[in-house]
Structure 1
């Protein structure tokens, strides 16, 4: 009998030689398998340890457009909100929201943050569906999907569609385009865009097939001349609404209504045989586009809002209708007429507890404010949420607050007549609570918990209820060492300053103001005088450069700017006396000491720019395959060291505390210079095709390097604690969307802290030590 064989570094046997030879081969194989297994475990452990834990910087208040909110019809507290570029959110018991689609929105699937439709299963409150995809033109290379979750968005399954979905396309506030049969959870209908018609699933969303009997496709195109552009596609279908009062046939709801983006003879169709055949609903209005369609089952009636545009930005006329299903009759219940009717209608809330009680909102009333109407008699009479007093004074039948996001009040409510908002495409009343209502605007989600006071004291309390929704498109980030912890330039909402690490968890009191612009495209700090900040706006027709001398707390217009330049990127000299601006309109420009800007002809238009953070005379530039340096405060630039095989300079990061130390991100990877760009060394080729790059404080006196690129874990965010010699995946399972659209900053003050700005999910941050790991085996 042989002795026991152990798969260790020793083999002890007493068998004949042939036996030993035979089993040595087997043992070697076992050793190899064991080493591979151990290596796999170590790699998994390293990945688990390396990936950081991410959370949102709390800007708060929403920050973007929420086209749809859906409550579950029978289970209290279950509701979801869909955004056009920031994914899905689930409502919490404290009025806050939790993002639930980050995990399926990585670099390859960035379009999953565009949500064009949302549906809940009436029979199971754990199940949620959404139609995802960002654009139907070539901006989005992928087809759309129907995603489904059976655990309230904790995990998802994906069904790919054979066409694109337009979560951020015109008409995205219509809907909902996706619906679950209330009598059969296996049946779903989805109304597609681009002429693709109506689609049906009979297996709970696992597969979909086209409904051949439904031939309407929604033919309206906002701009037929914009072929292949943003406004050049058919809007498609607008909504799917089941009539739960109609009974069933073959286990499916008999009556189904479908709306289309048409404003001619018909935009509402009905099936009386569970989708086998379809016909236009008789007697319907044919002038406007239907936006929302809600069933009030106790009345056995549909309520619909109409506008002369498909939204969300337009609308100069419209209507509200009630359709009596039993009688087959339509009634125009539009709240206003004549000269008072200068807007279309979007948001529509139907009180399921009190038949006949409805609330509707103007889609866009740009002056003086939105208008909201309420009826308790099925639209026979209406009351308004505000009326004119002695012009220009108004009688306000509401109180409005934004304590959860104070910047909304200081930056918008106190500076604009439009307190109630704009782009109101969704307005919902909690079906189980007549006092709880929510409506969304282009800025935030408003709502309250005393809606029925409208009927008694005619004065309701409205507040921003978007806490947890971070739908900001981030255009630039900076973290000055020894200065403000974070400067965030954002689209649509100007920008924000976070003075220290503690403030990252609190919504700011103000946005960037005086001046306030719709969008700030870039921000930079003076490296040797970090309280001095410059930012650039993206609005044409006014001065778009502003300075701060107190770290971004207050601002003033840069007098040297004119009204003809905007957008692009900015670089501030180390001692805050020179601005180099790579504009989006007038090439590269330079100004000193509040003087007028003049063109820098030696640097190509659209060049990437940066300033040396310690040497006041040095600026850097990059364009195509070339790196440029200026040693005369940006007056002129010359080509400098070679970047190897790179053909595209994408980002430049100057070391915050070392003069002449500069990092360059390119399509060929990362290059590093310690001599002002005179020569470069390519760092580890383990990270390729890189985008934004940043430096942040590491342990002790070291600085970490962070970069978006393609490495061992795919196209993600990586960190290095050894000067780029090795790279670790620090992103993990957190989705940031497309990495080429993300912005990046390492903290100048907090060791191991890094910030990521996304296109639609605000700013994320995480902290942790980046450890270099190697595989060690005993043999």
Structure 2
């Protein structure tokens, strides 16, 4: 059986730890536990030969290996700023013969968002370590159609076709006689290259019942993203020649191709979109490999068919038992179908009841991630409890009761699947314990109350009362999808402000709390068409300064109507003084600005060297006018309210910075920075206002793209710092 492949006769490169010019200090790093995944899981795979060997891949959060207790261990936390795109996993394969071998196709985007070519990561020890096999083209773990690509051979995106390796992935060659590279793009007119990129190849499936042991598998099926032309191809001679499978229906795009070996049948799920967001029509087919007969086994038709199909699995213990997921049934809920007779008849997880409610045949549990909730089976339409973006669905090949599927939010599944066929009531539970896939946009650690509050992409954010227990709920009352930023009032730290990113005619995107985020009220001075950006709350909590993502910089006092701050450029970074209610700070380009009238007007007071892109302003919580700014030219410090700045000598560039508890009572706060020091981008702490630094991250914790991460220091615990990442959630570090 041939194993994963990539391109261009290039040697694999061993991955080793980086070495810092600064001294280092050992830290213990742990995830702040959210517990429910928090993002899209495109695929989950079981090794067919080794019981319990299971992996999951994420679109922006790397890859995970399942532990014996059902929890998950991340495999790519070592990815640092030079390898940030490795957290985008576009395809995954586990070797069914040499089961310790694992292959990952990594790369975040195929357009200009990511300058790097893709890589095949090769492990011989179950993902404990990897070598790199570089590709001469890009790979897109976070591109459209990221749920349909698979790696056995390697089916590439962007018109690069099919690639093959015969040396365990160390080198790859293009299968030039393969007849199609795929013609479908979600939106060919998209000038960003994101939706106009060709989807490419969808799956590569081996018929491992063909051929003989020790020889290349002769029969292989490949699905290609062509709409309206042949899109299922095969070879019967191990790739020497390829042909379109006769009799196929090419109305839709193939998503998954799954072999049922005992039946000698290939099952295909299809959609009229490449996913993971789209798909309004689709079909399910089975192809009898022996007879060459195609059969349409789509579970529903007519008005009941308003979605495409994604996740697909067969029960290897019970031939003829298959399951398929609606790729995107946004209303009234997601949907999954099951058949015990090879698709002749189907049963579903829900159907419409007689009183416009849903009859649901499952019991729902979110005990491992209570915030996903509610923790009961919802029968009213409109709650997406089963899930959405369901591209990965698999039944354990050794245990017919164990199943897992990925959604846009978490990993679901259960351990009583065969009850579906008797009492028709299975348990669906969140099973993403250990998976932290959130994108963090802001963090604060006030001096009193809960230790941490977060601004999170897609799921708002959380009050973290404890760091190692999943929160019971995300932000409530004034709720929106993404929280862009968050801040607290220095003199009244239970007063919090947060801003959102969704344009809405009814939900204002500024919310205020006076009880440390337990409850929230809308700021009625905000307009519904103003969103995003960054926010600062004055020291006493009465003034909100908002550098919006859409309408420049605005200010409001006591919930009055937000008015434009004409003296600040659009996109300025902002901060409030933590002691003086009238003082705000701002920066844009090389200019530093000061306001002494509550943010109404600003004046340029000094410059930040030759900076062109300031990133973050932080203010000493115990000393008015003691200000730090990070930028593309390093870190700058002012002790005179911004009248003058001194550039620190070590960092040549810096992104997130933070202040935390001092090393000794009454001392100066510890300074933390994601920075380039002596040519090494890492995470550093200084206890002497930047004169000397220690590196606090290590070879096992790279935190990926430094410029995408946020940071805050803990004002109560010396040495503790929080790092919010773009794909691996929140980390907290303590001195070891």
Give the TM-score band, short-chain normalised: over 0.9
CA distance in 2, matches of 1:300, 1:746: 59
Aligned residue for 2:497? 534
Aligned residue-pair number: 711
The answer to whether structure 1 residue 640 and structure 2 residue 605 are counterparts is yes
Give the secondary structure class of the aligned counterpart of 1:407. coil
Aligned residue for 1:113? 87
The answer to whether structure 1 residue 68 and structure 2 residue 43 are counterparts is yes
CA distance in 2, matches of 1:515, 1:361: 32
Aligned residue for 1:198? 162
Matched-pair contact (CA < 8 Å) for 2:41–2:406: yes
Matched-pair contact (CA < 8 Å) for 1:696–1:748: yes
The answer to whether structure 1 residue 141 and structure 2 residue 115 are counterparts is yes
Give the secondary structure class of the aligned counterpart of 1:110. helix
Cα distance, 1:442 vs structure 2: 0.5
Aligned residue for 2:595? 630
CA distance in 2, matches of 1:418, 1:480: 34
5 Å-filtered alignment, 1:515-534, equals 515-534=478-497
Cα distance, 1:125 vs structure 2: 2.0
The answer to whether structure 1 residue 753 and structure 2 residue 707 are counterparts is no
5 Å-filtered alignment, 1:663-682, equals 663-682=628-647
Query: Which of 615, 619, 626 is residue 650 of structure 1 equivalent to?
Result: 615
Matched-pair contact (CA < 8 Å) for 1:494–1:512: yes
CA distance in 2, matches of 1:75, 1:248: 21
CA distance in 2, matches of 1:254, 1:526: 68
Aligned residue for 2:61? 86
1:641-669, Cα deviation, whole Å (9 max, x unpaired): 23223333221001122111110112221
5 Å-filtered alignment, 1:543-622, equals 543-622=508-587
5 Å-filtered alignment, 1:302-381, equals 302-381=266-345
Cα distance, 1:484 vs structure 2: 2.2
Aligned residue for 1:22? none
1:571–1:45 distance in 2 versus 1, CA, 3 Å: closer
1:250–1:357 distance in 2 versus 1, CA, 3 Å: closer
Give the secondary structure class of the aligned counterpart of 1:690. strand
Superposed CA RMSD: 1.6
CA distance in 1, matches of 2:654, 2:597: 29
Cα distance, 1:169 vs structure 2: 0.5
The answer to whether structure 1 residue 253 and structure 2 residue 204 are counterparts is no
- Structure 1: where are the runs of 5+ without partners? 1-42, 180-188, 770-779
5 Å-filtered alignment, 1:121-520, equals 121-176=95-150, 178-179=151-152, 189-248=153-212, 251-410=215-374, 416-499=382-465, 503-520=466-483
Cα distance, 1:212 vs structure 2: 1.1
Aligned residue for 2:14? none
- Structure 2: where are the runs of 5+ without partners? 1-18
Aligned residue for 1:183? none
Cα distance, 1:265 vs structure 2: 2.2
1:311-337, Cα deviation, whole Å (9 max, x unpaired): 011111100011100011110000111
Aligned residue for 1:732? 698
Cα distance, 1:749 vs structure 2: 1.6
1:696-722, Cα deviation, whole Å (9 max, x unpaired): 113223310011111136011111011
Cα distance, 1:688 vs structure 2: 1.1
1:560–1:413 distance in 2 versus 1, CA, 3 Å: farther
Matched-pair contact (CA < 8 Å) for 1:249–1:273: no
Which TM-score applies when normalising by structure 2?
Answer: 0.95
CA distance in 1, matches of 2:682, 2:261: 49
Matched-pair contact (CA < 8 Å) for 2:149–2:155: no
Matched-pair contact (CA < 8 Å) for 2:365–2:376: no
Cα distance, 1:250 vs structure 2: 8.1
Matched-pair contact (CA < 8 Å) for 2:179–2:243: no
CA distance in 1, matches of 2:112, 2:91: 20
Cα distance, 1:410 vs structure 2: 4.4
Query: Which of 722, 734, 754 is residue 688 of structure 2 equivalent to?
Result: 722
Cα distance, 1:44 vs structure 2: 8.9
Matched-pair contact (CA < 8 Å) for 1:627–1:649: no
CA distance in 2, matches of 1:648, 1:419: 42
CA distance in 2, matches of 1:454, 1:175: 29
Deviates more, 1:51-60 or 1:504-513: 51-60
Matched-pair contact (CA < 8 Å) for 1:60–1:469: yes
CA distance in 1, matches of 2:471, 2:432: 14
Matched-pair contact (CA < 8 Å) for 1:577–1:592: yes
Matched-pair contact (CA < 8 Å) for 1:411–1:511: no
Query: Which of 75, 78, 86 is residue 100 of structure 1 equivalent to?
Result: 75
5 Å-filtered alignment, 1:754-769, equals 754-768=721-735
1:10-66, Cα deviation, whole Å (9 max, x unpaired): xxxxxxxxxxxxxxxxxxxxxxxxxxxxxxxxx99985x514221111011000000
Give the secondary structure class of the aligned counterpart of 2:511. strand
Matched-pair contact (CA < 8 Å) for 2:147–2:392: yes
Matched-pair contact (CA < 8 Å) for 1:174–1:425: yes
Q: Mark the structure with the bigger radius of gyration.
A: 1
CA distance in 1, matches of 2:611, 2:350: 61
Higher helix share: 1
Q: Which has the higher contact order (CA 8 A, sep 6+)?
A: 2
1:372–1:284 distance in 2 versus 1, CA, 3 Å: same
1:724–1:410 distance in 2 versus 1, CA, 3 Å: farther
Cα distance, 1:411 vs structure 2: 10
Matched-pair contact (CA < 8 Å) for 2:148–2:203: yes
Give the secondary structure class of the aligned counterpart of 2:121. strand
1:177-216, Cα deviation, whole Å (9 max, x unpaired): x11xxxxxxxxx1000110000000100011110111131
Give the secondary structure class of the aligned counterpart of 1:504. coil
CA distance in 2, matches of 1:612, 1:458: 60
Matched-pair contact (CA < 8 Å) for 2:102–2:122: yes
CA distance in 2, matches of 1:731, 1:411: 38
1:264-306, Cα deviation, whole Å (9 max, x unpaired): 1211100110011100001111100000011011111111100
Cα distance, 1:222 vs structure 2: 1.2
1:350-376, Cα deviation, whole Å (9 max, x unpaired): 100000001111111111011111100
Query: Which of 49, 52, 55 is residue 77 of structure 1 equivalent to?
Result: 52
Matched-pair contact (CA < 8 Å) for 1:411–1:513: no
CA distance in 1, matches of 2:397, 2:315: 6
CA distance in 2, matches of 1:44, 1:384: 56
Matched-pair contact (CA < 8 Å) for 2:535–2:574: yes
Matched-pair contact (CA < 8 Å) for 2:256–2:312: yes
CA distance in 2, matches of 1:712, 1:436: 51
Matched-pair contact (CA < 8 Å) for 2:363–2:377: no
Aligned residue for 1:707? 673
